Amino acid sequence: MIVLHYTGMVDAASAIARLCDPAAKVSAHYLVTEDGQVLRMVAEDKRAWHAGASHWRGLSNINSASVGIELVNPGHEFGYRPFPDEQIDALIPLVAEIKDRHAITRGNIVGHSDIAPTRKQDPGELFPWARLAKLRLALPRPTKNLMDPNWTEAGFLLALERFGYDVTDKLAAVVAFQRRFRPELIDGEIDGECRAILLALLLPKPRGDD
């Protein structure tokens, strides 16, 4: 897996200092600054402590099976803002190389909020997933031939769990799904658009962003 994060600290220097502090007990394999510098913090064959308590597609020990990438951004607590083009321009080849090197499927390139919906919001609704999806570096947001399957709430949650999310906390799971696949409206409500997007994602070939 590849897990994308934002640093959620006031600046890059503070984030780097914390990621290098053994007492903090947090680390990541790479950090990408807002001006496009890529820093390798932990070798890929070593475990980095970036995921925390998390779950995706039946796997709970995600630190043991993932590469963690931190993107410098103050996050929701310190003035969340769009990710600069220079930062994403540097991230894209990094993700592509890691994906190819480890044969990672695009469905296993996720945000921290996808794997820890009750605790995390990063990389957040401003992250340009569409840019990665167009290069097959993430799943696209389905946009074509959407059809509402009219699932019950329980049916939607079962489908969401099948897709990969931990649905123990219903609201947190729905919000995380919306933050990733319908960021313009994050209200925690299961509506026809959410059902249609999720159904399309469960198809063998998700459609959209092309």
Residues marked as catalytic: 70
The conformation of residue 97, written as its DSSP 8-state character, comes to H
Cβ atoms of 166 and 117 closer than 8 Å: yes
Residue with tokens 């990438």: 69
Collapsing DSSP to helix, strand or coil, 170 comes out as helix
Give phi and psi for 186, each to the nearest 5: -110, 90
Residue with tokens 């063998």: 204
What is the torsional sign of CA 157, 144, 88, 188? Answer: negative
